[in-house]
């Protein structure tokens, strides 16, 4: 009898330990994600709101940053697993210095019709005749978000058609919201803005939209998703799971777009998610703006990234001999798509 009882207790203890172990294996894997709380983070927001991360067994923590460039150090140290930001000389310099991060997927591309970013000029210059064509930007104070970004490449491409470059102007580096104030105060003559600031200055009659980045440089990949190299090498399976959930979020976003605006099926629910998660809480803004393009399969555009890298090198902004291959890893998104299948619009 004692042997039976002892055996039963052993079985109970073993089952209990097994149950604890099973419960422990079911604990979600934490993933820290750097965000700037803007519309370009929409894939993250949707994947979180609709439970796609949870379905992959992930517990995502969103960590806000005032500027995407500040995520680079945290990604390199492994304090963040995921981040994102604009294509810039600083990003390539970080890779060249051995900071462990990789460009893994699209975040914002200037696909034709998706002209969320645009060159603008003060309306009073147009009304007075001071501005008639891009040639008239010579000597203008022109606002850009930062030095050494993909925006500079776009603008130099636009002005090159008229025999000009940014060197013929006075660049002023401002955040996009600051550009609105600068237009209002007539502190700048023109600038490259992105939505919703484009719509804001148009509505206030402060500036005129001249040309979108989708026209200047079609399919320009101006922002990308970044993974820490420690994340990729240390837990590739989790990295692929995260990408799979993110792409599902981006696909839902794509489904809600019609002719470059949030006006397709499910658009109102998408707008509700954006007003909940992002810094812009006015749903009317999302209904009127031109939105960005985020590739539903996460595809990178090496030709665009190489063009920006070459531009930064020609401008003397690169500190190392970094190559695009050093900075890019297309395999994570490709593996995620193997499971999801290629995107098909609903």
What pLDDT shows up at residue 84? 92
Residue 13 has pLDDT above 70, yes or no: no
Q: pTM for this one? A: 0.88
- DSSP H or E run through 55: helix 52-55
> Residue 191 burial (CB < 10 Å; 0-12/13-18/19+)?
buried
What pLDDT shows up at residue 340? 97
Angle in degrees, 0-180, between the axes of helices 236-255 and 42-49, rounded to the nearest 10: 100
Residue (of 263, 329, 320) closest to 96 by Cα position: 320
Characterize the bridge pairing of strands 220-228 and 101-110.
antiparallel
Angle in degrees, 0-180, between the axes of helices 302-314 and 89-96, rounded to the nearest 10: 90
What pLDDT shows up at residue 26? 76
DSSP secondary structure code for residue 81 in this structure: S
Q: What percent of the chain has pLDDT over 90?
A: 84
Instruction: Tell me how far apart the alpha carbons of residues 131 and 92 are, in angstroms, rounded to a whole number.
Output: 36
Mean pLDDT of 115-134: 96
> Residue 101 burial (CB < 10 Å; 0-12/13-18/19+)?
buried
What pLDDT shows up at residue 329? 97
Out of 90-99, 110-119, 136-145, 207-216, least confident range: 110-119
- Average pLDDT across the chain, whole number: 92
- Token representation of residue 213: 């980045």
Phi and psi, residue 256, nearest 5° = -90, 0
Query: Which residues, 6 or more positions from 249, have their beta carbon under 8 angstroms from its beta carbon?
Result: 42, 43, 44, 45, 46, 47, 48, 50, 52
Largest CA distance in the chain: 104
Residue 1 has pLDDT above 70, yes or no: no
What pLDDT shows up at residue 4? 45
The tens digit of pLDDT for each residue in 218-268 reads 999 999 999 999 999 999 999 999 999 999 999 999 999 999 999 999 999
Residue 339 has pLDDT above 50, yes or no: yes
Residue (of 33, 35, 34, 42) closest to 289 by Cα position: 42
- DSSP H or E run through 90: helix 89-96
The tens digit of pLDDT for each residue in 283-331 reads 999 999 999 999 999 999 999 999 999 999 999 999 999 999 999 999 9
Query: Which residues, 6 or more positions from 11, have their beta carbon under 8 angstroms from its beta carbon?
Result: none
- Token representation of residue 51: 């439970």
Q: What percent of the chain has pLDDT over 70?
A: 93
The tens digit of pLDDT for each residue in 202-219 reads 999 999 999 999 999 999
Residue with tokens 């992002």: 278
Cα angle vertex 156, ends 322, 101, to 5°? 25
Cα angle vertex 122, ends 121, 125, to 5°? 105
Instruction: Tell me how far apart the alpha carbons of residues 215 and 213 are, in angstroms, rounded to a whole number.
Output: 5
Mean pLDDT of 14-22: 46
Residue 5 has pLDDT above 60, yes or no: no
What pLDDT shows up at residue 25? 54
Which domains occur in the chain, in start order? 29-111+220-340 (3.40.190.10), 117-216 (3.40.190.10)
What pLDDT shows up at residue 38? 85
Residue 108 has pLDDT above 60, yes or no: yes
The tens digit of pLDDT for each residue in 43-99 reads 999 999 999 999 999 999 999 998 888 899 999 999 999 999 899 999 999 999 999
Residue 6 has pLDDT above 60, yes or no: no
């Amino acid at each position: 009898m004692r042997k039976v009882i002892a055996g039963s207790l052993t079985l109970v203890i073993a089952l209990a330990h097994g149950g604890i172990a099973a419960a422990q294996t079911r604990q979600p894997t934490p993933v820290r994600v750097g965000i700037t709380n803007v519309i370009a983070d929409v894939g993250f927001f949707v994947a979180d709101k609709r439970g796609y991360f949870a379905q992959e067994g992930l517990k995502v923590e969103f960590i806000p940053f005032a500027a995407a460039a500040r995520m680079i150090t945290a990604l390199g140290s492994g304090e963040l697993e995921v981040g994102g930001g604009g294509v810039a000389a600083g990003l390539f310099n970080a890779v060249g210095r051995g900071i462990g991060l990789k460009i893994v997927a699209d975040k914002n591309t200037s696909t034709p019709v998706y002209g969320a970013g645009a060159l603008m000029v003060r309306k009073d210059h147009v009304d007075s005749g001071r501005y008639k064509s891009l040639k008239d930007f010579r000597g203008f104070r022109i606002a850009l978000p930062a030095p050494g970004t993909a925006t500079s490449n776009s603008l130099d491409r636009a002005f090159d058609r008229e025999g000009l470059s940014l060197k013929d102007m006075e660049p002023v580096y401002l955040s996009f919201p600051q550009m609105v104030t600068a237009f209002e105060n007539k502190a700048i003559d023109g600038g490259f803005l992105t939505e919703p600031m484009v719509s804001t200055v148009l509505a206030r009659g402060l500036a005129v939209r001249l040309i979108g980045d989708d026209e200047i440089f079609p399919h320009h990949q101006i922002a990308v998703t970044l993974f820490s190299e420690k994340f990729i090498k240390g837990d590739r399976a989790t990295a692929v799971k995260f990408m799979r959930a993110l792409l599902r979020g981006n696909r839902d976003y794509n489904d809600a777009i019609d002719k470059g605006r949030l006006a397709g099926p499910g658009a109102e629910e998408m707008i509700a998610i954006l007003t909940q998660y992002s810094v812009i809480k006015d749903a009317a803004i999302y209904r009127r703006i031109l939105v960005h393009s985020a590739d539903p399969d996460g595809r990178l555009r090496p030709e665009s990234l190489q063009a920006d890298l070459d531009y930064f090198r020609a401008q003397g902004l690169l500190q190392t001999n970094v190559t695009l291959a050093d900075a890019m890893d297309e395999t994570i998104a490709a593996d995620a798509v193997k499971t999801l299948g290629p995107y098909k619009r609903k």
